[in-house]
Structure 1
């Protein structure tokens, strides 16, 4: 059977960065509450001329520059930070990236799980037509109320993946385990710009979905726990993934060392919660940070509030390291501009009405920017010639 999976992967984030040490000082709490208790150090914050489209297109651009645009017949845009109730964010990205008009473009939403739904759909489409390629973009901005328990778990980022036959990075194996339950742990009503969260229930729903998905995975013939070498989980904050591995160890009776997933935390500690992109930001960090992955099997646990969990596996391909971009993400993180807490709060509170035309200030240095509204329609533009 032809191997199908992730041929290339690229990560982008936002212009600004908020240090959680500064946030802790302003809130008069011990910084260790955030750095140790949550496992987070900083979070990315979009400028006024950035959003999920600009980050998503910026993540995808290096992939297209490396592999070209031919054969990309599908673009899946996964997000829970949708910018329109009808038009897919993927349509804007498709235009910015200059992709072939002979393509299907669709947005997928199910909280933080959407990117995994997109990845599995892309794998199935390529398996049906191995000569085609699919572009999966996961892009999100996590926003919570100021001074709320969720505030330090904000963030912003995007991951793009090229799905092909005979992939260079990770082959996605066919067996997956699923668990779905109607749970009100996290949601964002249409009239709110920030999420509503029941933290305790969300933790329980996440861990219950993990064990349920694992049991289904094994019942369907998935690899036993002792054949899984690394663990990559959804990371709304990195401490959550530690709890996931501990739960899986108790559930299976296996001795699962945290070293199985330590490398996956590097980027999420810096960008914060990127919702749909967070598990694949973890994969990017694992591929970049672990020196000996060829032939190793990764266990993935993807979760989306509301709630659904999926457990699946992927095997890292021989020669994968030759296809990475050493230092690219580190440079992106280093290039972010620190923002004062006063300016952060002002940006957080800013409201952009959709019923009047506007122009956004030029801030971002990313390849694409949100230029404002014209005729009540969103306008995007390139910031440089590539």
Structure 2
């Protein structure tokens, strides 16, 4: 029996910021963002959007296609949580009308959280193959204006249905892991924006990759030459290029960018989606390539602070039937552009939990953040 990702879907926010416009407005050569970072645009949420609305929107098509039978667990991964205690998954659980007989929890470890949730889901299904697990990764990446991190912002979500005998990707059992306490990136409790040491973050990422790879190899994992495609966490897509080059140097195996090029299509448009980034890359790869059946994909997940994991999966025959390329492309194309002044105004907007709030109706997505009432966040469907 194989266990893995049966289906996955991507969703994002209502607005988009063109990085070429941001560069020109701040006196930066656009090539610094488009080539130096490998990014073209970044999604930005409307006032009535957040990780909950994006996560629920990503999960909705999975339930519409497969129903809720057997789903007894929702695992929500994020590093931009909306509550210090309550799982964002419980808001999603209510919005989606999921059964009451269900466990719901939130996972946090920077961008790595979705992989922790996925590994937990695999264990749940291994214990009872009749169960399915809904894993949601959703984040809004925010940095201070006029800082080096600003062009690496973004917003998006990926939802995955994990099951026995998956239709998309069967996860292989060997996994290599790495952990180290390092201050490369973090967000204090009293801050809505992250703090990052870019140079240290690059070093920590590559160090976690080589450590996780060595652990993967020591545990009986396949050699680098036996992996047909690679998919790395992409805080910006150029980082994945550096990662593949670093792995090639570490293993002594020639690994060209053609082995991961297709994974960049969505993340160049979304920007950094933190926990969703790796799996948005996986969705892009599966959507862009018709020749993957039976191939092995190597995936590296990284979360600052820092944790890394390298694992592999086998693409299943008929995976093309599960794809949603047209839906993702349409959602990306349908985002409403923000002028630089509108973007900066939205960026500065914060919702104080102690004040009642009713948000303006902006999003065209299926769910919206309606506001705050008696310090509790309110959500609603936009139709029906």
**Does TM, scored on the shorter chain, surpass 0.5?**
yes
Q: Deviations over 1:225-281 (max 9, x none)?
A: 111000000000000000000000000000101000000000000000000000000
- Within a 5 Å distance, the mapping from 1:200-215 to structure 2 comes to 200-215=199-214
SS at match of 1:206: helix
Q: Distance in 1 between matches of 2:64 and 2:284?
A: 21
Alignment partner, residue 90 of structure 2: 91
- Within a 5 Å distance, the mapping from 1:92-171 to structure 2 comes to 92-171=91-170
SS at match of 2:314: strand
Q: Deviations over 1:159-183 (max 9, x none)?
A: 0000000000000111000010000
Q: Distance in 1 between matches of 2:337 and 2:130?
A: 44
SS at match of 1:347: helix
- 1:318 matched to 2:303? The reply is no
- 1:9 matched to 2:23? The reply is no
Q: Distance in 2 between matches of 1:261 and 1:327?
A: 21
Q: Distance in 2 between matches of 1:326 and 1:279?
A: 17
Using the TM superposition, give the Cα deviation of residue 351 of structure 1 relative to its aligned residue in structure 2, in angstroms: 1.6
Alignment partner, residue 229 of structure 2: 230
Using the TM superposition, give the Cα deviation of residue 5 of structure 1 relative to its aligned residue in structure 2, in angstroms: 0.4
Alignment partner, residue 344 of structure 2: 345
Using the TM superposition, give the Cα deviation of residue 326 of structure 1 relative to its aligned residue in structure 2, in angstroms: 3.5
Q: Deviations over 1:280-321 (max 9, x none)?
A: 000000000012000000000000000011000000001111
Q: Distance in 1 between matches of 2:287 and 2:100?
A: 33
Extract unaligned runs of 5+ from structure 1. none
Q: Distance in 1 between matches of 2:160 and 2:108?
A: 17
Using the TM superposition, give the Cα deviation of residue 325 of structure 1 relative to its aligned residue in structure 2, in angstroms: 2.2
Alignment partner, residue 178 of structure 2: 179
SS at match of 1:147: coil
Alignment partner, residue 362 of structure 1: 361
- 1:292 matched to 2:287? The reply is no
SS at match of 1:139: strand
Q: Deviations over 1:136-195 (max 9, x none)?
A: 000000000000000000000000000000000000111000010000000000010000
Q: Deviations over 1:36-65 (max 9, x none)?
A: 000000000000000000000000000000
Q: Distance in 1 between matches of 2:48 and 2:170?
A: 36
Q: Distance in 2 between matches of 1:185 and 1:214?
A: 21
Using the TM superposition, give the Cα deviation of residue 70 of structure 1 relative to its aligned residue in structure 2, in angstroms: 1.4
RMSD over aligned Cα atoms? 0.5
- 1:50 matched to 2:49? The reply is yes
Q: Distance in 2 between matches of 1:320 and 1:168?
A: 6
Q: Distance in 2 between matches of 1:374 and 1:209?
A: 43
Q: Distance in 2 between matches of 1:278 and 1:5?
A: 18
* Aligned length, in residue pairs: 384
